[in-house]
Amino acid sequence: MLHFSNWPVGRKMFAASIITTIGIAVLAAISLQAMRSQMMDDRRALLKEHVTAIVSAVDALADRAKKGELTKDEAQERAKSLIRTSWYAKDGYFFANSAEGISLVHAAKPSLEGKDLSGLVDKNGVEITKGLVAAAKNGGGYTAYGWPRSADEAPSPKLAYSVWQKDFNWAIGTGIYIDDVDAIFMNQALELGGIAIVILILTFGFSIVISRSVTVPLKDVQGAINKIAEGDHTVEIKYTEQTNEIGEISSALNKLKQDVKERDDLRASALAQEEEENRRRQEERVRLANTFEQSVGAVVSALTGAAGDIQQNAQTVNTAIRSTSTQASTMAASADQASGNVQTVSAAAEELSASIREISSQVAQGSAISREAVEQADSTNKEVQRLNEAAQRIGDVVSLIQDIAEQTNLLALNATIEAARAGEAGKGFAVVANEVKSLASQTAKATEEISEQIAGMQAATANSAKAIAGISDTISQIDSISAAIASAVEEQGAATEEIARNIQQASTGTSQVTEIVGSVAKSAEDSGATVEGMVSSVHTMETQTKKLNQEVAQFLGTIRGDAA
């Protein structure tokens, strides 16, 4: 059941009408009851007044009998006569009964006098005579019973009042019909009922009119509110011309409709502006992504190509260095052979005195070996020159890598700035930019180390070239000395000393050649290790470049996906 506060207005108005009607009915009932009670009180007072008057007259006769003025029988007879002749109103009479219920006086029906009425009972079972005597003996009282107005009429309600006269032991009383009270009560009840019905009809009618005057506008206002809530700004607001509360509500609702329309218009405009701003931002993101892809993508592609070229050149340099190392080993063997030949010449010089032919043969053999050593020295010098040229090319490639690393570092810095401007959307790109920056720094460091190694290798190859040139000169000198020995074999003494000195120089030269060749071999080995490290760095750079390319592609995909 709904709480009263949740009842519709029409139901509340109907309930108010019902409560008003019930209140009127209750007031009418109370009024009728009070009126009936008042009428009954008036009847009781009238009965008591008449009985008191007649009893006083009988008491006066009894007092005269006590004084001896009258005998008791005379006084009783006069009292009976007084009771019979004392009437009031139209049909008001008195009666007297003995204590045993014998009717002594009955002015309306004298035929009842002398009869025993103690067993007289009305239709409702009320013992009439006994009740009158008992009420009288109790100091006076009222008795209600039914008594016919005439012999052929049905009993009518009657109210009697009786008082005990103690001198004669009589119950003297009178009674009046009270059906007029009920008739008056019913007439008044019907009259008030009619008035109540008229009031009820008027109240219900007025409640219906008032309810409809409230509920109909309220329903119209409710419908208008629902339409406004649904976004209908064209709904018509009625009752704004009224000056009552409905008019005030309608005017307020009309203003609310206008405010809602303005708010919806502002919201639609704001949404349109927001959509336009989002579209512009999306286009700007796509443009930035395309620009970034063109700039960074080109750099990454160039870096990837440069890494491949560096790796290929490094492999070429490594091959050349291995060839140089092999040739240096061959030259070292030749130098060792030349040293052995010089020792042989020294031994032949000591035995020069034994056989000049043997000396000439050994000199010829030393000259041939010297020429072979010169050829080997020239070949080694050429290989060293080629190694120097390869190192120069590596230096050029390293310079290119350094330029690319610097450009990449600059682009990473710019990308970091752009990522910071982009806010949350640029965090992923900021990570990629830092990776690119770190990769560029590692590349720059690796190329710096390669440059240092190449510089050392160039210095070593230059020293090797100088040493080989010295070896070549020394071997040429040996060849000249051998020719001088052959032409001046006759001067064995002086020539022997000269040969010994020159052999000592040749031995020293061959030792130097051996040392230089060892240094060249070690430098070649170091250069090979450096080139291997460069190849590993280039491979790492290539891997990082591929990773950078993937990160850039993922970042561009994210940017373009957000823009979509």
**pLDDT band for position 12 (cuts 50, 70, 90):** confident
Query: Which range among 40-49, 88-97, 196-205 shows the weakest confidence by mean pLDDT?
Result: 196-205
pLDDT score at 422:
78
User: 155-165 and 141-148 as β-strands: parallel, antiparallel, unpaired?
Assistant: antiparallel
Rounded CA gap, 46 and 30, in Å?
24
pLDDT score at 461:
63
Pure H helices in 230-244: none
Residue intervals of the chain classified under CATH 3.30.450.20 are: 8-204
**In 166-204, which ranges are E strands?**
170-177
Res 98 pLDDT > 70: yes
CA dihedral of 356, 361, 366, 369, whole degrees rounded to 10: 180
pLDDT score at 263:
87
Q: What is the mean pLDDT of residues 221-236?
A: 83
Q: Express each pLDDT in 269-299 by its tens digit.
A: 899 999 898 888 888 877 776 776 676 666 5
Tokens of 179: 């059906």
Length of the chain: 564
Instruction: Output the pTM of the full model.
Output: 0.37
Edge-to-edge, what's the strand order for the sheet holding 155-165?
103-106, 94-98, 170-177, 155-165, 141-148
Q: Give the residue carrying structure tokens 């950078």.
A: 548
Residue intervals of the chain classified under CATH 1.10.287.950 are: 305-563
Sign, Cα dihedral of 481, 484, 489, 490: negative
pLDDT score at 344:
66
Least Cα distance to 163 among 65, 82, 48 occurs for 48
End-to-end, the C-alpha distance of the chain in Å comes to 56
Rounded CA gap, 266 and 274, in Å?
12
| SS3 category, 98 | strand
Rounded CA gap, 84 and 272, in Å?
115
Q: Which residue has the higher pLDDT, 215 or 433?
A: 215
pLDDT score at 93:
93
Sign, Cα dihedral of 119, 122, 124, 129: negative
Residue environment code for 372-403, b if the CB has 16+ CB neighbours within 10 A, otherwise e: ebbebbeebbebbeebbebbeebbebbeebbe
Does residue 54 contact residue 172 with C-beta atoms inside 8 Å?
yes
The set of residues, in sequence order, having a beta carbon less than 8 Å from that of 341 and lying 6+ positions away, is: 365, 366, 369
CATH code assigned to 305-563: 1.10.287.950
- Going from the C-alpha of 391 to that of each of 102, 385, 402, the distances in angstroms are 170, 10, 16
Query: Which range among 162-166, 203-207, 296-300 shows the weakest confidence by mean pLDDT?
Result: 296-300
Least Cα distance to 368 among 486, 504, 467, 500 occurs for 486
- Going from the C-alpha of 318 to that of each of 307, 311, 312, 321, the distances in angstroms are 16, 10, 10, 5
Res 166 pLDDT > 80: yes
Rounded CA gap, 370 and 494, in Å?
22
Res 52 pLDDT > 90: yes
| SS3 category, 346 | helix
Task: Please state, rounded to an integer, the average pLDDT across all residues of the chain.
Answer: 77
Rounded CA gap, 475 and 509, in Å?
8
pLDDT score at 259:
84
pLDDT score at 31:
81
CATH 3.30.450.20 fits 8-204, yes or no: yes
Q: What is the mean pLDDT of residues 318-322?
A: 65
Res 108 pLDDT > 80: yes
pLDDT score at 158:
92
Give the rounded percent of residues in the chain with a pLDDT score beyond 90.
21
Does residue 161 contact residue 40 with C-beta atoms inside 8 Å?
no
Q: Is 131 exposed, middle or buried (0-12, 13-18, 19+ CB in 10 A)?
A: buried
- Going from the C-alpha of 39 to that of each of 107, 148, 282, the distances in angstroms are 25, 21, 100
Tokens of 4: 């009263």
**pLDDT band for position 398 (cuts 50, 70, 90):** low
Q: Express each pLDDT in 515-526 by its tens digit.
A: 765 675 576 577
